[in-house]
Structure 1
Amino acid sequence: MLARPVKSAAADHLLDAPLDELLAEHGVDVSTLETDPGFTGGAYVRADGSLLFVRPAGRPDAEWEMMARAMLGRALRVPLPDLPDLYELTEL
């Protein structure tokens, strides 16, 4: 599946900024945990509106980059290109 083009400055920033800087800019806390093999990350919006991301231990860095950016985009309501077919974001 081809990703749709991204046409906003906010989306460009979410896709291009160094991930550590991007997470710090938005006050995202990251906790690395041992998880089930198929788990690729999670996000929790706290009562005060701050974000906590769960990074699965042992997963590839490139996968984490992709998932963290996708989760941040969803939390900020910034449309981003679709994830590859193997991945899916689910809101509960």
Structure 2
Amino acid sequence: MATPLPRLLVETGVELFESSITDANFCGAVVQRKKGGILLSMPTGRSELETDTVARYLIAQVFDVDLPDLPPPFRTTEI
């Protein structure tokens, strides 16, 4: 998980795209395509640190990497 984010995305086959969701409480989402592949939706206008941290955490969740929960106010929900 220490790999630079662009390389991590390529190595895991995750496609990152900017979300149109403007809610300040939205930090990102992962969508697993029925045809295969994983989409990572991230909001625009966030700090590089927040984007990098949340993206890595969401990727780790998809690949069952054991990580501690993010600190409040962050939380993840599986739908």
What are the within-5 Å matches in structure 2 for residues 1-80 of structure 1?
A: 14=1, 16-35=2-21, 36-80=23-67
After the TM superposition, which parts of structure 1 deviate over 6 Å for at least 4 consecutive aligned residues? none
Q: Per chain length, whose mean CA-contact separation is higher, i.e. which structure has more relative contact order (CA < 8 Å, sep 6+)?
A: 1
Q: Secondary structure at the match of 1:20?
A: helix
Identity, in percent, stands at 35
Instruction: State the Cα distance separating 1:70 from its structure 2 match.
Output: 0.8
| Structure 2 segments unaligned to the other structure (5+ residues) | none
Greater share of helix: 1
Aligned residues: 78
Q: Provide TM-score, normalisation by structure 1.
A: 0.78
Deviations 1:16-70 (A, max 9, x none): 1111100110111111123212111011001133110111011111111111111
Larger Rg: 1
